[in-house]
Amino acid sequence: MTAASLLAVTTAGVASADTSADRDVIQKAMDQLTSGGGALGVQARVTDGRQRFTARSGKAELDSDRPVPLDGRFRIGSITKTFVSTVLLQLAGEGKVDLDAPVDRYLPGLIDKQITVRQVMQHTSGLFNYTNALPLTPDEFEKIRYKHWEPKELLAIATSKPLDFPPGTKWSYSNTNYIVAGLLVEKLTGRPYEKAVEQRILKPLHLNATEVPGDNPNINGPHAHGYWPVNGKPSDITRINPSVAWSAGEMISTTRDLDTFIVALTSGKLLKPAQQQELVKTTVVSPDYGLGLVVQTLPCGTKVVGHGGGIPGYSTELLTTPDNKKRLEMSATSAPAGGDSGPAHNAILNGVFC
C-alpha cells in the first residue's frame, strides 16, 4: 500500500505497426515473473478490442501444485483509493462537497486548516504517510498482523508529524490522504464508508466478488496465497487484519470485477460530466495523478489511466487506455525469496499496450 508508481517502465517500448496484444508474449513475461522469483503466482485479464483472454502462471500455494485461480480473489491494496475517490466525486456532483474547500469545513480540527479536499484526493496535501511509521518489515509485521486499527488512530500517527511540505506545493503519495478521504465520505453520507462504496458502486455494477472486509482476516472464495520471509523462513501472509489500510487499501476483488469497474468509471457511467473531467485532471504539481487515478503515457506513446496496489502478500495492477480498447487487470502474489520483477512487469505492459 506504500507503492505509488504503477508505471515505472524503463524499457523503450516496442516499435511496431502491429500494436495488438500478443498472448504468447504476455504469457512468456508472466512465466518470467514467476520463474525469476518476482512472484509466486500471477493472474491477468487482458482486453484488446474484441480480443479478451485470461492468463496465469506459477502456483497458488508454496507447497502445492495447485494453479492460480483464473478469476481468484485477491487484496487490491491502493486500488481501494479509486473506489473512495469515485464516491467523493459523486458527492461533489450532488453538491454535498466542494473539492476546493478546506477539509476543515466538513471535519473541523481533523487536519491542517489549509488542506483542501482536492489536495487530499490528489496527494498534494503534504500529510505525512502514516505507513512510513508502521512496523511493516516481515519480522515486525507479524506482531500487528491481526491488530484492529481505528481510522483516527492511523491518522494520529500522521498528524503527530509535521507536514512534509506546504499544502498544494508538491506531490507525494501518502496513504494518510485516503484515510482522510474515507472519513470525509462517512461525514458526508452519515454512514460507514464501506456502505457508501457498496451502495454507490458495488451493487449498481453487480460487483459480487468485491468486498470491503473490515476486520475479517480471510479472503473468501478461490484465491492464491502470498508469502514473505520471517526469521529466514517462508511465512504465509495471506491472512491479515486489513484495517491497517482501511479506506487507503483494504478491499478485495477479482480481475473480472475490476474490469467492470474501470470500464464503468472511465466511460462516464458513475460520474456526471463535470466530475468525470476532474477525475483525470492533472496539474503542474501533480502531472501524473488526477483524483484517485494515475494518468500517464508509456514510453511507446500509449496513454493509460488506472491505479496500482500493494499490501503484504499481493501486488495488483489496473490499467486501461482512455477509450477502454486496451485493458489489463493483474494480481501477483509475493514469493518468499523475492526477486527482480521489473523486467517481466515491463514486458507485460509492453505486450498489452505497446
- Identify the three-state secondary structure at position 354: coil
Whether residue 231 is predicted with pLDDT greater than 90 in this model: the reply is no
Four-point Cα dihedral 37, 38, 39, 44, nearest 10: -130
For cell 497458488, what's the residue? 60
**Does 112 reside within a domain?**
yes
What number of other Cβ atoms are within 10 A of residue 109's Cβ? 6
Most confident of 9-13, 20-24, 53-57: 53-57
User: Which among 134, 115, 133 is positioned nearest to 123, based on CA atoms?
Assistant: 115
Whether residue 49 is predicted with pLDDT greater than 80 in this model: the reply is yes
**What is the domain range of residue 106?**
23-59+68-353
Give pLDDT tens digits for 148-183. 999 999 999 999 999 999 999 999 999 999 999 999
pLDDT value at position 145?
94
**Average pLDDT estimate for 234-257:** 97
Please give the tally of structural domains in the chain: 1
Which residues are tagged catalytic? 78
**Does 18 reside within a domain?**
no
**Does 12 reside within a domain?**
no
Which letter does DSSP use for residue 340 in this model? -
**Does 94 reside within a domain?**
yes
pLDDT value at position 19?
56
User: Which among 278, 269, 151 is positioned nearest to 207, based on CA atoms?
Assistant: 269
**Does 105 reside within a domain?**
yes
Amino acid identity, position 201: I
**Does 220 reside within a domain?**
yes
**Does 16 reside within a domain?**
no
Mean pLDDT of the chain: 92
What pTM was computed for the model? Answer: 0.94
Strand order in the sheet with 41-48: 51-58, 41-48, 326-333, 314-320, 303-311, 294-297
Among 17-26, 156-165, 188-197, 266-275, the range scoring the smallest mean pLDDT is 17-26
Does the CA dihedral 82-84-88-93 come out positive or negative?
A: positive
Four-point Cα dihedral 54, 319, 352, 210, nearest 10: 0
d(CA 235, CA 238): 9
**Does 276 reside within a domain?**
yes
pLDDT value at position 132?
96
Which letter does DSSP use for residue 77 in this model? G
Give pLDDT tens digits for 60-102. 999 999 999 999 999 999 999 999 999 999 999 999 999 999 9
Contacts of 156 (CB under 8 A, 6+ apart): none
Instruction: State the CATH number of the domain containing residue 305.
Output: 3.40.710.10
Whether residue 203 is predicted with pLDDT greater than 80 in this model: the reply is yes
